[in-house]
Structure 1
């Protein structure tokens, strides 16, 4: 049996129609959708399958993505009893990783990230924050430009280390826009402001930390079937206390996705991404030669099971 690492995508992978194939072809998926809708008092079939604006609001985006990812996971687990070597996620996805190893119930995870989204939105009200993707510069070059800008009184920080030559920077929108030319003068192929109203993974999210910790204490269980790789440290953890600290620190510190994959690729034969978009599969192509399979509908589930059971 190959060594498998479970992956869970974060915000930005959402789209109308995601999860519909699961819902229409699986009673297990329908049960999960209904249970999540009942618990959160949100009609997830309307949120996910009908045109609406709420799908891009953080408090709704996060549980929507989590529901689809955990539906894919549950369907996979209904056909396979594999315990992963590791589990990890990108930002929001780390909560899916924790759920996948048994330390967080599925519906609890969906409710928890709904609160996380609310806390992040509330923190964002006090600052006109945003995020910018920078392509074509080294980590060190982006870090130096951000540090110099902070010395000048600007509020900008590296937020997502996605792959070599791709970093997302977070901070005040005006400060980010003022750096667009600076990044390009330094040789960036692209410096593009993303369509986001929340400056994730930087100190602007500090007001969200304490309320999130309280809910983590309430929802998390001290029962990890496998280690989870922390976005903050790019190292494994396996206890409730570590999870409370690291999942709350994740709000205000950068996501070390690239480093996380690099740290475990020698102990992994196959990565399986659960959820919409192939986002992490795309990043992994630039980080590792190990294959990544994405489960986003019934056909891709069948394909993944065939690969695993070879």
Structure 2
């Protein structure tokens, strides 16, 4: 086996009941749900366990819920002595990656992302911003469309560059609609509006980033003991000051996910382990490089499956 990267999912991977099996059979994983409740001062664990879905989908709950789930699952890998050479997280998943890299405490991470969710929600009045996934169009073509539309007064920008042929755009509702229409004219296979409460990862989020800066100054970030691949640059970082700056920039900058995975591949990573809810990131890695070995771990059963496979390969 070559090098290993741990990947942590972002918004959209949440599900009511995620982690229920995990909490039942692992006490050390259960404690993270309790610690999150204590740090936030409300029963996040109950929202994760029972929903309702629309409550969990509110970004100020979704964000700490996904960090809690990821770190609870990470505990299983730690107990097995599985360590990463690199860590990366998609958007809010970067906070889980920082916890995994020892740069941020778990409590501070859930506190920071709860606030991040609230700030992102408040930045643009509901209904004024939008996001859409554009499938089957080249990045440079889509970038050109967004620049043209933005020049005409409707902000729209590339927000998530996920994998070849899958890019999310973000901006004003009009900007996203116009750019989506133009993308179809230029040959995009589909344009899918996303169910989100705001234009995340666009310049319209700058007010949220300023508020987030104040929160990050309250908490302690230290140098990472494992290189973290920053969404903003798609390069590895370990310095605390840089990590903090990138978290602030990340709110209004595109998530360079495809570039991040390409960077990890160039560094000799051949095994990617998605840690937490869902299998979104595993799917994206496969679209970027089919030959990569990819696992998604959500509970003891999926971990055991991975361990069996690893043993087989050793023999």
TM range (shorter): over 0.9
Give the root-mean-square deviation of aligned CA atoms. Answer: 1.5
Corresponding residue for residue 236 of structure 2: 236
1:233 Cα deviation after fit: 0.6
Aligned equivalents of 2:76, 2:106: Cα separation in 1: 13
Which consecutive residues of structure 2, in runs of 5 or more, have no partner in the other structure?
Answer: none
Asked if 1:144 is matched to 2:144, the reply is yes
153-162 vs 180-189, which moves further:
180-189
3-state DSSP of counterpart to 2:124: helix
Corresponding residue for residue 199 of structure 1: 199
TM-score by length of 2: 0.94
1:226 Cα deviation after fit: 1.0
Structure 1 runs of 4+ aligned residues shifted over 3 Å read 305-310
Corresponding residue for residue 280 of structure 2: 279
Aligned equivalents of 1:70, 1:32: Cα separation in 2: 7
3-state DSSP of counterpart to 1:132: strand
Number of aligned positions between the proteins: 309
1:218 Cα deviation after fit: 2.9
Aligned equivalents of 1:308, 1:215: Cα separation in 2: 41
Aligned equivalents of 1:180, 1:125: Cα separation in 2: 21
Aligned equivalents of 1:302, 1:193: Cα separation in 2: 37
Aligned equivalents of 1:80, 1:219: Cα separation in 2: 28
Which consecutive residues of structure 1, in runs of 5 or more, have no partner in the other structure?
Answer: none
Aligned equivalents of 1:235, 1:229: Cα separation in 2: 5
Corresponding residue for residue 300 of structure 1: 302
3-state DSSP of counterpart to 1:171: strand
Aligned equivalents of 2:93, 2:51: Cα separation in 1: 24
TM-score by length of 1: 0.95
1:302 Cα deviation after fit: 1.6
1:306 Cα deviation after fit: 3.5
**Per-residue CA distance 1:100-132 (angstroms, 9 max, x = gap):** 010111122111111111111111238711110
1:247 Cα deviation after fit: 0.8
- Check conservation: 1:123, 1:208, Cα contact below 8 A: yes
